[in-house]
Homo-oligomer: A and B are copies of this chain.
Amino acid sequence: MKKTAIQDLFAEIKSTHNPGKIATYIPELAKVAPHQFGMYYQPVSGTGFGLGDHKQPFSIQSIAKVFSLTLAMQLEGEALWQRVDVEPSGNPFNSLIQLETEHGIPRNPLINAGALVVCDVLMSHLSSPQADLLQFIRDVTGLPQLSFTETIAHSEDETGYRNRALINLMRDFDNIKNPVEEVLDLYFHLCSINMTCQELAQGFQYLACHGRRSLGGETLITTSQAKRINAIMQLCGFYDEAGDIAYRVGLPGKSGVGGGIIALRPDQYTIALWSPPLNPKGNSYYGMKFLEEFTTLTGTSIF
């Protein structure tokens, strides 16, 4: 892994035209300066390094769904899969059609409906859901200062009509057990976390290290659970672009509408990207382009 080649790649991509569009459905995302671009590479052994705006915090949005899923798997175990499936959706991430057709069981835990069910499961286990979930994320990432961003959570709440439609439909199918508005509140807070590329790459090391904080380090989840999460991220982590990304990038990962991406090669490394403008499928345009060239350059696609 030659650092200079990666630097060259980063510079080259940054110099190309970016046709992407930033998310504007809430003011907090609409006002982010679009030209920002950061990357952090963290091998499972050895020192990582960052490029560009890798120390700039940004709204990780849906990427945080991996943390809540991790905690729900710990707390609920295999019973979780009675409430949410693990198959790719073949539909836009927020479609109600599949949810109606499949009687309120979301296709996977990374689409909005599935992440709402995960939050509902957490509420049934945690005494102070918001505080406890935040503490778990702080522990996993090793970032004790991490917090929710109330303005973002509030904006998500105000525009969250489709999420309200999803959760009420699932409630009607009895697949939501706690009060709808409280589950939504937890969900909106979950999606409001800010992190930097460096924090993301380091915070996701446990999924490259078989569930341990680092190779040989403290066990957070079992090897089997880490494998499950990676498989889910591979098939469902990039909205309706999973198939194309499996080919172009070939790594499990998760993106967010804030323009962030986390990806990882088990046993080898994690890598975080951030650039706000999104491609038509909702994934960071620069981020995907970089990852595609990066796995080709390094020969680290899993395929």
Contact = CB atoms under 8 A, between A and B. Distances in A.
Interface of A: 85-91, 95-101, 107-108, 161-162, 164-166, 168-169, 171-172, 180, 226-228, 230-232, 234-236, 240-244, 246-247, 250, 252, 266, 301-303
A171 B180 contact: no
A286 B201 CA distance: 39
16 contacts: A85-B243, A87-B88, A88-B88, A95-B100, A161-B168, A161-B171, A162-B169, A164-B164, A164-B168, A168-B168, A228-B247, A231-B247, A232-B246, A234-B246, A252-B303, A266-B303
Given A165-B169, A168-B164, A89 B90 contact: yes
Given A97-B96, A161-B171, A168-B162, A231 B250 contact: yes
Contact of A86 (B166, B247, B302): B247
A3 to B, nearest CB: 24
A281 to B, nearest CB: 10
A147 to B, nearest CB: 29
Contact of A235 (B172, B230, B242): B242
A98 B88 CA distance: 14
A165 B97 CA distance: 12
A107 to B, nearest CB: 6
A159 B235 CA distance: 33
Contacts of A172: 161-162, 165
Contact of A161 (B95, B180, B231): B180
Given A85-B243, A231-B246, 6 more contacts: A86-B244, A87-B240, A87-B244, A161-B180, A162-B172, A235-B243
B252 A231 contact: no
A244 B227 CA distance: 11
A96 to B, nearest CB: 5
A169 B86 contact: no
A239 to B, nearest CB: 10
A85 B172 CA distance: 26
A243 B169 contact: no
A162 to B, nearest CB: 4
Contacts of A96: 96-97, 99-100, 165, 169
